[in-house]
């Protein structure tokens, strides 16, 4: 069985953000693939990736892009595989441009949009794991344990630095 999660991004420069999703999936024992797929620079690659997503067995696509961030929306237009969008933080507009580009999809083609930047990428990994866990009891247990550990790591009282 092939991998069920695709992590795609518009540029090599997005990887430092998008690897937060990969780290979470590694922690949870979820296999994934990573690809650079640019809506503007490699539109044919985007089309082919979207066209073959179902037949290749992908269950979730995490798509990160910055600026005029059309990748998640275009991917959602091309495949019914759920797309989780990650707005990459940009230098010019701090990622608000990315967020607005990704979140305002027209009715009919949803993108589940995360927060701007690395927290959003990490949450995209968790969201993808949560979707797969619906049909994978072992993964569901690992995800529950991960959440319990995170809660347990939060102190009751603040400490001095």
Q: Which is nearer to ligand RP5, 87 or 129 (CB)?
A: 87
Of 5, 7, 8, 14, the residue at the interface with ligand RP5 (CB under 6 A) is 14
11 lies in the binding site for ligand RP5 (CB under 6 A): yes
Report the C-alpha gap between 95 and 107 in whole angstroms.
Answer: 23
Q: Could you tell me the two tokens for 30?
A: 């979820």
Rounded least distance, CB 97 to ligand RP5, Å: 10
Q: Which phi and psi (to 5°) does residue 15 adopt? A: -65, -35
Per-residue x/- track, 62-101, ligand RP5 (CB under 6 A)? ---xxx--------------------x-------------
Rounded least distance, CB 139 to ligand RP5, Å: 29
Q: In what order do the strands lie in the sheet with 112-113?
A: 32-36, 5-9, 60-65, 83-87, 112-113
Q: For tokens 């990994």, what's the residue?
A: 125
Q: Which is nearer to ligand RP5, 36 or 140 (CB)?
A: 36
- Say if residue 14 carries a ligand binding annotation: yes
Q: Could you tell me the two tokens for 98?
A: 């990315």
Report the C-alpha gap between 38 and 20 in whole angstroms.
Answer: 19
Q: Which residues bind ligand RP5 (CB under 6 A)?
A: 10-11, 13-14, 38, 40, 65-67, 88
């Amino acid at each position: 069985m092939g991998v069920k999660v695709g992590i795609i991004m518009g540029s090599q420069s997005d990887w430092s953000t998008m690897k937060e999703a990969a780290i979470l999936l590694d922690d949870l024992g979820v296999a994934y693939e990573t690809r650079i797929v640019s809506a503007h620079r490699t539109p044919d690659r985007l089309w082919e990736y979207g066209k073959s997503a179902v037949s290749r067995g992908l269950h979730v696509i995490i798509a990160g892009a910055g600026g005029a961030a059309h990748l998640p929306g275009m991917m959602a237009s091309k495949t019914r595989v759920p797309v989780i969008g990650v707005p990459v933080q940009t230098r010019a507009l701090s990622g608000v441009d990315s967020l607005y580009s990704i979140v305002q999809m027209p009715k009919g083609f949803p993108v589940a949009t995360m927060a701007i930047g690395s927290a959003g990428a990490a949450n995209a990994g968790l969201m993808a794991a949560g979707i797969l866990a619906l049909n994978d009891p072992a993964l569901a247990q690992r995800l529950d344990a991960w959440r319990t550990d995170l809660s347990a790591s939060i102190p009751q009282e603040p400490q001095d630095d």
